[in-house]
Amino acid sequence: MDQSLNLQKRHLRTIKSVSEFDLSDQAEYERHAQFIGMLGNNYMSREFREFEFDEHNKKIFRFLLYYFNNSKLAEDVFKEDGEDYKIHKNLLLIGEPGTGKTIDMQVFSDYLKLTGNSNHFHNLSVTQMMNYYKMNGHIDRYTYNESTGSGSIEGNPFNVCLNDIGLEVENQKHYGTDLELVIDEFLYARYEIYQQHHIKYHMTSNLTVDEFKERFGNRLVDRFKSFNVLTLSGESRRK
């Protein structure tokens, strides 16, 4: 009986990530928030600006900090706004160009890597993925990652964030009809990986939810139920 219980606990650890940080402790939360602010300032220093926490992103940063540390507190952040977000879902950040979607995810990617968090993800742009496709004829590296030689029949997929979905019109002249097909392939494959292995894929986009539905039709709309959709509002932060 004890052996069976130990096996059950071992299996649970392989499918459920638990953060080593207790962010319900406000002092601990503040330390992490300050660290994220420092990372953001490092990026903004190239433009001689500071990383801003304001009414447009402060709540989203609180949610993301809890979310990436697997804290159930994340699910309470937007409850008063009528949103029912879950920490087991992926992330979709939407907003007008310049509202900070890509830089926010880059900051959190760095934060997760530096804190040794298993939720760490790799940032990927649509352009980068398409260039890889043009050179290799496939996007395996960003989906099942079978070509790594890991020896696993299931490949070696990793958490990823695909940035800038919605720029197809601007990029269409460079990549032709392949662009939409490759994005669809990415979304189909990553959804399957998420369902089977709970390895996450996040996205940022300048499309609205309605535009997503129009862009992908009935093929993928139902799969967007696996996302927490976060909207970054406000004017462009680019100067």
Within a domain: 118: yes
Instruction: Give yes or no for residue 218 having a pLDDT over 50.
Output: yes
Domain count, the chain: 1
Residue 42 counted as domain residue: yes
| 85-102 pLDDT, tens digit each | 999 999 999 998 888 899
Give the number of other Cβ atoms within 10 Å of residue 131's Cβ.
Answer: 13
β-pairing verdict for 227-232 and 201-205: unpaired
152 occurs within a structural domain: yes
Residue 176 pLDDT > 50: yes
List the one residue out of 147, 142, 141 whose CA is nearest residue 163. 142
Residue 185, number of CB atoms within 10 A of its CB: 17
Q: Which pLDDT score is estimated for 11?
A: 42
Q: How far apart are CA 212 and CA 134, in angstroms?
A: 25
User: What is the separation, in whole angstroms, between the first and last Cα of the chain?
Assistant: 64
Q: What is the pLDDT of residue 189?
A: 95
Residues 115/38, Cβ–Cβ less than 8 Å: no
Q: What are phi and psi of 232, to 5 degrees?
A: -90, 115
Residues 88-146 have pLDDT tens digits of 999 999 998 888 899 999 999 999 999 999 999 999 999 999 999 999 999 999 999 99
Structural domain boundaries, residue 38: 2-232
Distance CA 35, CA 111 (A): 8
Identify the CATH number of the domain in which residue 88 sits: 3.40.50.300
Two tokens, residue 220: 């993928």
Q: Does any domain span residue 239?
A: no
Assigned domain for 87 exists? yes
- pTM score: 0.87
For 113, other C-beta atoms within 10 Å of its C-beta total 12
237 is a domain residue: no
